[in-house]
Every structure is written in C-alpha cells, then in structure tokens.
Structure 1
Amino acid sequence: MPAPGTRERLDALARMRPLCLAEDGCVSWEAYHSHEDPARFVLVERWATRGHWETHDAGEAIQKIYLPEIMPRIEREVHPSAPAALGEAGQFHLVDQGEGGILR
C-alpha cells in the first residue's frame, strides 16, 4: 500500500519535470521513489551553474507546484554536490533526499 499522499506527490513531480527541464541551465532533473521506504523521494537536479539553480527558485515549477503542493507535506534536506573527481568542471549538482516527502 502506498504511503499517504504518494499519488499526489508523484503527480506534482510529473508536472514539475518538464517545466524544470525547460529552464535555462537545467542539465537534468530526475525524481526517484524509494523501494525500501515508500514515503521517501529523492530528487537529483543537475544545473550548469549554481546561479542557474538559484534562479530556478523563481520559476513556475517551484512557485506554482513545489512551494504550495509539496513543501507543506515534507521534511527537506538539500545536499549541493558534485561528482567525485569525475565531474565536468564548473557543473553544479543538487541531490536532495528526506523522509516523509519529496526533496529538492
């Protein structure tokens, strides 16, 4: 049985994905749903620069979907990161994970 609110979160993520991918500087945007913990989602966003990611906060996906529909229902951890010694110079990666919800 899915965790409460799972379908709503999946729907919100599905609506966010094309909006995020269309934003300037978005290299990739993927949402993962844990097999072990049905209440856990992990978003992995890859942005050309940290500035692109910061600008993303003013975009439609964040303002019209993430903030009103997702943020009130989650615990959030943000982990800005880069590939270990394998990444392309200057690229900014964001990996978020948390319990009970979706993280950005």
Structure 2
Amino acid sequence: MTDVAETVLLAEMRLAQPADPETRERLAQLVLAVRQEPGCLEYAAHLDADDPARIVFYERWQSREALETHAEAPALSAWRAFAMPRALGLPKLTFLHRLA
C-alpha cells in the first residue's frame, strides 16, 4: 500500500531544439543529484522516442514537503538556468495518485 503522503509528479517540458549531447549530460547530472535529495523515492528523466525535444520527468517523493524542498534545490536551480532559455514555455506539471 502506498503511503498517503507520497507525492507523484509527471513534469513535461519542450525544448526549441532536440536535446543535444550537452543537454543529455546536464540531465544525467540532474538525475544523479536529485536522487540524493532527502525524500526522493524515484526520479527519472526521459526523452520522447518520437520527439527528442520533449523531456518527461517521473518523480516520486515521500511527501509534498519533500517535493517543495526539491523545487529550491541547487541542482534543480542549475538545470532551470540551463534549460529554460532553451525551452518553449514553462514545464507542464501533473500530479498523480497511485490506484494500485
């Protein structure tokens, strides 16, 4: 049974250009750093197989508070500084509830 306080987030962003090697490397660095953050249960970044300019993040956090702390973490701030000038708009955030 999933802890009721667990927070699951799907975050999607679109880049103006397909992810280049530098972007892929920055994503790998981000994932490694975030997985070490307190309260992180799972964190993965994916490139859309049909659209390599679309990045999808799957995140599981122990609580909403842990996710809110992550939002201010240095690794995410560095990623935002790198990615947002390359992005088409703001990321789309979708909160999910596990059914089974």
Q: Normalising TM by the smaller chain, what interval?
A: 0.7 to 0.9
Where does residue 75 of structure 2 map in the other structure? 61
Q: 1:71 is aligned with what amino acid?
A: M
Q: Is the 8 A contact 2:34 2:40 kept in 1?
A: yes
Superposed displacement of residue 5, structure 1: 4.3
Matched residue, 1:27: 41
Aligned match of 2:26: 12
| Letter paired with 2:53 | A
Distance (whole Å) between structure 2 residues aligned to residue 34 and residue 23 of structure 1: 25
Number of residue pairs matched?
Answer: 82
Unaligned 5+ residue runs, structure 1?
Answer: 87-104
Question: Which structure would you say has the larger RCO, counting Cα contacts within 8 Å and 6 or more residues apart?
Answer: 2
- In structure 2, the residue corresponding to 1:27 is in which secondary structure? strand
For residue 23 of structure 1, give the secondary structure of its aligned residue in structure 2: coil
Identity over aligned pairs, percent: 29
Shift of 1:25: 0.2
Structure 1 counterpart of 2:82, which letter?
Answer: E
Q: Provide the aligned C-alpha RMSD in A.
A: 1.5
Residues 36-70 of structure 1: per-residue CA shift (max 9 Å, x gap): 1121110101101111000111212112x222101
Matching of residue 82 in structure 1 with residue 97 in structure 2: yes
1:36 equivalent to 2:50? Answer yes
For 2:18 and 2:56, the matched residues in 1 are separated by 17
Residue 7 of structure 2 corresponds to none
Alpha-carbon distance in 2 for matches of 1:58, 1:35: 30
| TM-score (ref. length: structure 2) | 0.73
Distance in 2 (alpha carbons) for counterparts of 1:66 and 1:56: 12
Q: What TM-score comes out, normalization by structure 1 length? A: 0.70
Structure 2 spans left out of the alignment, 5+ residues: 1-16
What is the alpha-carbon distance in structure 1 between the residues aligned to residue 53 and residue 71 of structure 2? 24
